[in-house]
Amino acid sequence: MTKLYLILLFSVACSFIGTAILRWYALSNSLIDVPNARSSHSQPTPRGGGVAIVLSFIISAMLLMKLEALALATMLALVVSGSLVAIIGFLDDHGHIPARWRLLGHFVAAVLALSLLGGMPKIIFFNEQIDLAWFGNVLAVLYLVWMLNLYNFMDGIDGLAGAQAIFVGLGGALLYWGTGSTEFIWGPLSLAFAALGFLYWNFPSARIFMGDAGSGFLGIVLGLLALQAAWVNPMLLWSWLILLGVFIVDATFTLLHRLLRGEKVYEAHRSHAYQFAARLCGRHFPVTVSVALINFLWLLPMAFVVGVGKINGILGVLIAYFPLIFLAFFFKSGQREA
C-alpha cells in the first residue's frame, strides 16, 4: 500500500517539476500563445505544459500495472491511445496539422483504446442491463472522439481543464470506494494527482497553458476511465457522465448551435458558456471556482446517489444536467459574440 501512495506522490511531483521545465523550454523556443480576437486571455503565455501531465500519468500507470493496481489491458488502452492523441496534439502545438488528419488520428486512437479495453461494456438502461453489441462499440468510439475534442474546446481559460481533471479523478475514486470496489481507485487518483502538479502553474493567472497535447490526452483518458468503470459496475457509467457534466453540456450545446448556423466547428471561437461568463466577470478566477463549486456541491452528490443505485442512471443524468442546461442558455452557449 505504501508503494501505491508513493506513486501518487511521484505523479504530482513529476508533473510539477515537468511543467516548470516545459515552461522554460517554451520560453526558450518562443512557443508562446499570443492573444488574438478569439483568445480568452490578454497576455502572451507559453504553452505545452500538459505534456507534463501526459508523461507523469503514463509512468504512473505503468508502475500501477507492475504493482497489480491497474489491469494490463486497461494500462495499455490508456497509454497507447493517450500517447497517440498527445503526439498529435504536440505536433499541432508546434506547427499545424489539418483538421481532417487530426480527426483521423483521433478515431484511430479511439478504436485502439476500445479494442484493448475489451469493447463497450453492458449498460443499465431503465433498470435493464443491455448489451449493445457492435452498435455499442460504434457509440463508444464516437464518445471517445467527442470526449478528447470537447476537452480541447473547454481548455480556454486559466485552471478550468486542470481543475476538472482533478475533480473527475477524485470523484471517480470516491465512487469506487462508495460501491465497494476500492481496488480500482488508483488509476483515477493518479490522473488527478498528475493534473494537480500542473494546476499550480496554470491556476489564474496562468504561467503556462496546457496545449492540445495535454487537453486531448485528458479527454480520452477520462473517457476511457469512465468505460472501465462501467465494466466494474454498469451504473458507474452514468455517474461518470454526471461528473463530466459541465464540460459535456457546454461543449455539446456550443457545437450544436454552431452547426445549426453552418459554421466551421473546427475553427477557433469564443462562444462557449464559460467564455461568455469569463468576459462578463472580467476574470478567469471566478468562473473556474464557480465550476469547481458546481462540481463538488451538485454533480458529485448526484453521481454518488446514482452510483450506489438510489436513482436510475438516465434519470440521474437528466436531473444533474438540468441546471447545467439552464446555465448554458443563460450564458449564451454557442451564440455569436457581439
3-state secondary structure of 124: strand
Whole-number Å distance between alpha carbons of 186 and 62: 12
Query: Which three three-digit cell numbers place residue 263?
Result: 459554421
212 annotated as belonging to a binding site for a ligand: yes
Q: In terms of C-beta density within 10 A (0-12 exposed, 13-18 middle, 19 or more buried), how is residue 279 classed?
A: middle
Identify which of 335, 74, 105 has the alpha carbon closest to the alpha carbon of residue 224.
74
Report d(CA 250, CA 255) in Å as an integer: 9
Instruction: Report yes or no: 109 and 83 within 8 Å, Cβ to Cβ.
Output: no
The number of residues making up the chain comes to 338
Check the annotation: does 93 bind a ligand: no
Task: Indicate the Cα dihedral angle 285, 167, 59, 142, nearest 10°.
Answer: -100
Q: Which residues are annotated as a binding site for Mg(2+)?
A: 152, 212
Q: Which residues are annotated as a binding site?
A: 152, 212
